[in-house]
């Protein structure tokens, strides 16, 4: 029997257009409406959390909009994964957490641990009836959800943010916590419906992708990472919008700018890439004029930002300032919608001022049998990195060459 390739792309920011310019127009409108909805429904609990956090947290405070989004994220994860967390035995969680730690070990130990963890994780989510299991809103239920997230090995950065909310709820009475989490769940349900109606044009392939993936890759270690609910793509969109809006002014004030890009922007095949590796990633050597990363390097030379190529396992803390020193570098990160937020949370944890730029579509081996080049919107890239609204001449060229072609600038 002929092997059926996985070719469906779960999302495309171009939709039915030639490029993704319209996506960013739609996102700005929907992002502002989402902030207003969250402020109306979750504003009071968020403000109480901010007061508590200001007294107890050692981390640099985020904006009100960012905390509103974290409250939405809690409700969303509760709705999507709460049933699976409730159905998972504590002993299984302990095994998965240990395996998640072993995945960092090089060689056969790490590979075996990763595959076993993935197998356990996807089996926990294989039976759809568990999604509707009721995880009681409260401190104990929240702890179970966080432990499940950590055990998967895929949501540590989100779980770290949730732990600050958990610490806050431990200081509140049970009725306040119950009502607050219910409000978060309700806001998340509303967001899921409204986001699919407004932004769903960009995620039409997600359901078909998940169906193919669940049938074909039940033994893969990246199953939980890739098999995402459609609303999670929309969360990535809005989360990136809120982070960018909240941190833009501070980012523009940084003395240096660096663009971190994934390897999927390299020209394929990658075997001939002559990039130079150092402690902060790979530096493009300009060996291929048609390579997307080489074109970004040339764009960076023109607009005064550096470009580094990062792998999935790269340590983002290397961009942090030394203790007691001002953060000199602003970091713009490029990634798929489902990993963009975790990278943003990781940068924030280390006090690094960031901007987020989603890939127009996924393309690496996590998402397709045959890796293919991805792309990004040059208009959006330059809006994030330099202080102009629309770079002169860029839009017209993007319409001719396609959004993912950095040569447009």
pLDDT tens, 287-332? 888 899 999 999 999 999 999 998 766 778 888 887 777 778 999 9
pLDDT tens, 176-234? 999 999 999 999 999 999 999 999 999 998 888 877 776 666 656 666 777 788 999 99
The counts of H helices and E strands in the chain are: 14, 6
pLDDT (average), residues 104-133 = 58
pLDDT (average), residues 392-400 = 39
Residue 112, pLDDT > 60, answer: no
Q: DSSP string of 35-97? A: HHHHHHHHHHHHHHHHHHHHHH--SPP--HHHHHHHHHHHHHHHHHHHHHHHHS-HHHHHHHH
Specify the pLDDT at position 388.
65
* Percent of the chain whose predicted confidence (pLDDT) is above 90: 53
Q: Are 251 and 258 in contact (CB under 8 A)?
A: no
Name the β-bridge partners of 257.
330
Specify the pLDDT at position 65.
98
> Alpha-carbon distance 122 to 316, whole Å?
28
More confident residue, 403 or 342: 342
Helix (H, G, I), strand (E, B) or coil at 259: strand
Helix (H, G, I), strand (E, B) or coil at 313: coil
Helix (H, G, I), strand (E, B) or coil at 101: helix
Q: What is the mean pLDDT of the chain?
A: 84
Residue 181's φ and ψ, nearest 5 degrees, are -70, -35
Going by pLDDT thresholds of 50, 70 and 90, the confidence category of residue 104 is low
Q: Which residues of 339-367 are buried (b: 16+ CB within 10 A; e: fewer)?
A: bbbbbbbbbbbbebbbbbbbbbbbbbebb
Specify the pLDDT at position 245.
96
Residue 119, pLDDT > 80, answer: no
> Alpha-carbon distance 25 to 391, whole Å?
15
Going by pLDDT thresholds of 50, 70 and 90, the confidence category of residue 125 is low
Residue 364, pLDDT > 90, answer: no
Nearest Cα residue to 276 out of 309, 306, 251: 309
Is the pTM of the predicted complex or chain greater than 0.85? Answer: yes
pLDDT tens, 135-189? 999 999 999 999 988 888 789 899 999 999 999 999 999 999 999 999 999 999 9
Residue 211's φ and ψ, nearest 5 degrees, are -65, -45
Specify the pLDDT at position 91.
75
> Alpha-carbon distance 281 to 55, whole Å?
37
Specify the pLDDT at position 167.
97
Nearest Cα residue to 329 out of 381, 243, 257: 257
Q: How far is CA 103 from CA 115, 121, 158, 227, 275, in A?
A: 9, 14, 19, 19, 27
> Alpha-carbon distance 1 to 288, whole Å?
39
pLDDT tens, 135-148? 999 999 999 999 98
Specify the pLDDT at position 115.
58
Specify the pLDDT at position 122.
53
């Amino acid at each position: 029997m002929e092997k059926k390739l996985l070719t469906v792309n779960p999302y495309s920011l171009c939709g039915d257009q030639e490029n993704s310019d319209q996506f960013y127009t739609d996102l700005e409108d929907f992002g502002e409406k989402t902030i207003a909805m969250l402020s109306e429904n979750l504003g009071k609990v968020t403000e109480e959390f901010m007061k508590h956090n200001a007294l107890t947290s050692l981390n640099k405070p985020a904006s009100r909009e960012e905390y509103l989004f974290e409250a939405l994220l809690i409700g969303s994860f509760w709705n999507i994964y709460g049933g699976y967390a409730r159905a998972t035995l504590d002993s299984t969680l302990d095994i998965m957490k240990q395996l998640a730690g072993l995945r960092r070990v090089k060689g056969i130990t790490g590979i075996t641990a990763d595959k076993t963890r993935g197998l356990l994780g996807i089996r926990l989510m294989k039976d759809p009836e568990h999604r509707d299991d009721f995880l009681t809103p409260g401190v104990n239920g929240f702890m179970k959800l966080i432990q499940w997230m950590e055990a998967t090995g895929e949501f540590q950065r989100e779980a770290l943010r949730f732990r600050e909310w958990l610490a806050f709820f431990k200081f509140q009475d049970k009725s306040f916590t119950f009502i607050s989490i219910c409000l978060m769940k309700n806001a998340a349900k509303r967001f899921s419906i409204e986001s699919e109606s407004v932004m769903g044009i960009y995620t039409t392939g997600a359901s078909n992708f998940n169906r193919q993936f669940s049938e074909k890759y039940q033994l893969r270690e990246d199953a939980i990472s890739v098999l995402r609910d459609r609303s999670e793509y929309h969360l990535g969109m809005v989360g990136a919008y809120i982070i960018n809006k909240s941190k833009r002014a501070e980012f523009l004030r940084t003395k240096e700018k660096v663009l971190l890009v994934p390897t999927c922007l390299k020209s394929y095949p990658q075997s001939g890439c002559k990039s130079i590796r150092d402690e902060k990633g790979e530096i493009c050597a300009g060996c291929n004029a048609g390579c997307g990363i080489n074109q970004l390097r040339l764009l960076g030379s023109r607009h005064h930002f550096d470009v580094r190529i990062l792998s999935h396992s790269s340590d983002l803390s290397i961009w942090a300032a030394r203790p007691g020193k001002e953060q000199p570098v602003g970091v713009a990160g490029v990634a798929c919608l489902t990993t963009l937020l975790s990278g943003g949370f990781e940068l924030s944890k280390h006090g690094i001022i960031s901007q987020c730029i989603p890939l127009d579509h996924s393309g690496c081996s996590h998402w397709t049998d045959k890796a293919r080049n991805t792309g990004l919107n040059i208009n959006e890239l330059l809006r994030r990195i330099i202080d102009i609204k629309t770079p002169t001449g860029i839009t017209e060229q993007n319409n001719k060459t396609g959004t993912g072609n950095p040569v447009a600038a």
